Structure 1
Amino acid sequence: MIGKLFRNARIFTPIDRGVPLAGKNQGQVASFERGAVYVHNGVIEMVGPESQIMDSIKTRQVDLEVDCRGLCLIPGFVDCHTHMCFADLREDEFELRLAGADYLEILRKGGGIHSSVRAVRRASEEELFAGTKRRVLRALGFGTTTLEIKSGYGLDTETELKMLRVIARVGRETVLDVVPTFMGAHAVPGESAGNPDDYVRLVVEEMLPRVRTQGIARFCDVFCEAGVFSLEQSRRVLLAARDHGLGGKIHADEVNDLGGARLAAEMRTVSAEHLLAAGDDNLRAMAGAGVIGVLLPGTAYSLRKKLAPAGRMRDLNLPLAIATDSNPGTCYTESMPFVFGLAVMNTHLSPQEALVAATLNAAYAVKMEKTVGSLQKGKRADFLLLEGRGPAVLAYHAGVSPVVAVYKRGELVAGSG
């Protein structure tokens, strides 16, 4: 039984009241100018003004007392959308895009996701694990304490299962909470070119039953986009995933307003991701259905696209999360501080709104809200110390990470403490 007291901190945290924060509540953050957190066996028991906490713990066991020196203390980041399980980088495609090549054009010519598929199929399970673990630990250093990782660079049954095994192992062998997502419907593989319906049949009739038997994945994602999977194909995948007990996610309307956001509302998926081209009516439907909009500002930055209209989405009462979309092709970053800064500076979320998006709402987007995402009694003691007076420093101190220390379940796991 171990009790720890973290005091003399400027604390900022969303307050979880049982639903994601949206609209005028998107930036609802509690703050304590001189605050403290009392942790017992890795779980938060008390958080609030230091004077109150000190009075309340007089009869409690305190094995370790940490003076936070007036630094900012926030919940650990929840990176709710990543593709960190991959084998090779795609710098050559980055240069092609800089020269004017279109993302979907590169995909049609066998690059993009197809390039990553070839590399992952060649890689041994051990090689894939080593690279994924390295990236995940880098994310930890940037303050990510919980993250989702998708498969989707296998596009055949055995390689998709291999990826999910690697993702599960990373979760076992690192301190982070890792949420595995099956994304066999990431693209139509080269061997099925011209026969996308046949590939969808493979995903539905062979891959999903094997994924369920394997028992690793918690969600199923599908890339609903022109030239990838149609609305009807995406619906079929999501319906089958639901039948197999997996939560639904959808890459929606990244390039074209295909209606993926409307499909997310119809299917009541947990989240819809990207949404750069989604129309207001479909976004409004998402909000009404309780679907979380996951914005990926780093991807728009890398593709030189206009960022998702976060302000308009907020006005439509859509709960917003932000994530890195860490992947080898369109957003090679593990840094949540970087995407936090982009969200504040380029999508015009306030620092408080971005904090909610990077923590509590992101936790809802991976159904981890009961244990992470805010600093409240009963949740895990996952938090960061920042070199600054408030979460705005994540955007203000541009180009670097102000994360001084990362705590997971009350243990220092990265930084100097």
Structure 2
Amino acid sequence: MPVLTNIGFLATCKDEGQQGEIHPIKEAAIAWQNDTISWVGQESDLPSEFKNEDAFDADGKMVVPGLIDCHTHLAFGGWRPNEFAMRVQGKSYLEIAKAGGGILSTVRETRKASEDELYEKASGFLKEMAKLGVTTVECKSGYGLSVEDELKTLRVYQRLGEDQPMHIIPTFLGAHTIPPEYKDNRQAYIDLVIEEMIPRVAEEGVAEFCDIFTEESAFTIDESRRILRTAKAAGLTPKLHADQLTSCGGAELAAELEAASADHLEKISDKGIEAMAEAGVVGVTLPLASLYTQEEFLDCRRLVEGGVDVAVATDFNPGSAPSYDLPLAMMLTCNLGRLSPAEVLKGATIYAAKAINRDVNLGSIEKGKSADFAIIDAPDPDFWMYHYKGANCTGAFGKGEKIY
């Protein structure tokens, strides 16, 4: 039964109180058996049965729950660095798309890639994410946009979940955009998503959530409602890319459908905030996407003051957010989203767990929960985010195993 001792500052991040309440314990220790936490508290109170067990030394550093990236597009073919250069020179999304870029360029590369190729590439990302203290990753499809290519991506996530010491949460995103072969018949593609993709995904059990890009330029409110109602009836929990570019009612739809989360939300309305708060829908901020696309950042303070739990994620993808650096996203949320370091830490732990329906066993350091935590070379969250030097992670444990 291993023990982690000499913890200078332990942020337990229990789901109690407000966004900024992280329930710290100083001079703490953690004991666990197999993959489950057995005891948490001050080291001076460590029960005698744990004192002669294998011990890891936190060296007086801060320990936080394993970080949870609750919004990524982990498996994809190719990259799009040329778009980055175009974007910083002032090219619009439409101009980039006309030049052969955008989501559809990744669709072409993902369709060409084999399942094994996607698996190896995604595995490499996960190893690097573990070095940042990340122990749980939500992973979306959405770059296949055909029945078999969407299933190919989701099977990659299924394999990763079986092989990796990290928690892998798969999400079906067949309604990401309209693929080129359906550009003149979008209704036929929507019918394909509803009548073939969702039933196959549900039948094979390769996804837990169904996400959709809800925008007038992607899928309308009515189209999104129809797709997500079908998914919900098939046993998939709704999620939404909502109100990123326009205030189109995505947040209100998320509340109506009792979605697990609504993500992006840069253009959310006051009515949308009120509806999400009432329905208990988690709002997920994705500041790396705003950074890379040079768009307005979400004012997370509006959501917190409106009663919405705010999670922080990367939106890691090859186009609009080509970074899986969750601590960087946390720092940006402090500086540009107007949340405190404690608030962003809770947003990358227990509230991120709530965004993927995993708060019962992930996201906080409590007895009975998964033994997932990271050792951070900082005295407390304020100093970590203030004197930002990257993740500052010196060790990470996932499912009770040392993964970094």
TM band (smaller chain): over 0.9
- Partners in 2 of 1:105 and 1:367 — Cα distance? 38
2:101 to 97, 103, 111: 111
- Partners in 1 of 2:145 and 2:227 — Cα distance? 14
Count of residue correspondences: 403
* Aligned amino acid, residue 11 of structure 1: L
- Partners in 2 of 1:380 and 1:300 — Cα distance? 32
- Partners in 1 of 2:239 and 2:98 — Cα distance? 24
1:412 matched to 2:402? The reply is yes
Map of 2:194 onto structure 1 = 204
Return 5+ residue gaps in structure 2 as ranges.
none
- Partners in 1 of 2:94 and 2:366 — Cα distance? 44
1:34 matched to 2:24? The reply is no
Superposed displacement of residue 194, structure 1 = 3.0
Map of 2:353 onto structure 1 = 363
1:47-68 superposed Cα distances (whole Å, 9 cap, x missing partner): 111112x2xx213474212222
> Alignment partner of 1:44: what SS?
strand
Map of 1:47 onto structure 2 = 40
Contact 1:197–1:233 under 8 Å retained in 2: no
* Aligned amino acid, residue 324 of structure 2: E
- Partners in 1 of 2:136 and 2:234 — Cα distance? 25
* Aligned amino acid, residue 409 of structure 1: K
Contact 1:7–1:50 under 8 Å retained in 2: yes
1:310 matched to 2:300? The reply is yes
Contact 2:80–2:101 under 8 Å retained in 1: no
Q: Percent identity between the aligned chains?
A: 38
1:280 matched to 2:270? The reply is yes
Q: How does 1:164-179 map to 2 (within 5 A)?
A: 164-179=154-169
Map of 1:237 onto structure 2 = 227
Map of 2:4 onto structure 1 = 6
Change (3 A) 1:367 1:202: same
Q: How does 1:185-334 map to 2 (within 5 A)?
A: 185-334=175-324
Superposed displacement of residue 103, structure 1 = 2.6
Q: How does 1:37-116 map to 2 (within 5 A)?
A: 37-52=30-45, 54=46, 57-60=47-50, 62-107=52-97, 110-116=100-106
Superposed displacement of residue 328, structure 1 = 0.2
Q: Which moved more, 1:317-326 or 1:385-394?
A: 385-394
Superposed displacement of residue 107, structure 1 = 4.1
Return 5+ residue gaps in structure 1 as ranges.
none
Q: TM-score, normalised by structure 1?
A: 0.94
* Aligned amino acid, residue 249 of structure 1: K
1:139 matched to 2:129? The reply is yes
Contact 1:342–1:395 under 8 Å retained in 2: no
Superposed displacement of residue 104, structure 1 = 4.9
Q: Which moved more, 1:144-153 or 1:170-179?
A: 170-179
- Partners in 1 of 2:229 and 2:98 — Cα distance? 27
- Partners in 2 of 1:59 and 1:295 — Cα distance? 43
